[in-house]
Amino acid sequence: MTRPAKTALVVEQQALDLVHALFSSEQRGAEPLPALRAAKELNDLIDLLTIDAVRQARKGFVTWADIGDALCVTKQAAHQQYGNLVEEVSPPPRR
C-alpha cells in the first residue's frame, strides 16, 4: 500500500471515530462537551482536507472561479480563504 493510501485510511478512520463519538453521545444523552469536542475535531479535519484539495486543484491549474464553484462561494471568497495557504502556480508557457 502506498503512503498516500495509508494516510487516506488513517484520515478515514479518524473521521469515522469522530462521527461515532458524536452520534453515540447524542443517543446516550451523555454530556454535551465530548460531542462538541468531537465536532470541533471533525471540523478541523475537514478544514485540513479542504486545504489539501484546494492545493491539489491549484497544482492542476484549476481556476479560483472553479474552486469557488466547488465550495459554493465566489472566486474571491475562495482565494481570500485559501490563497495564502496554498502555493500559487503559473500555467505552463504556451508554445
pLDDT of residue 1: 53
pLDDT digits (tens, 9 = 90+) for 59-82: 999 999 999 999 999 999 999 999
Show the cell assigned to 41: 475535531
- Would the pTM count as exceeding 0.85? no
Q: Buried b vs exposed e over 47-62: b needs ≥16 C-beta within 10 Å?
A: eeeeeebbeebbeeee
pLDDT digits (tens, 9 = 90+) for 10-46: 777 888 887 887 777 555 666 778 878 888 988 898 9
Cβ within 8 Å of residue 39, ≥6 positions away: 18, 22
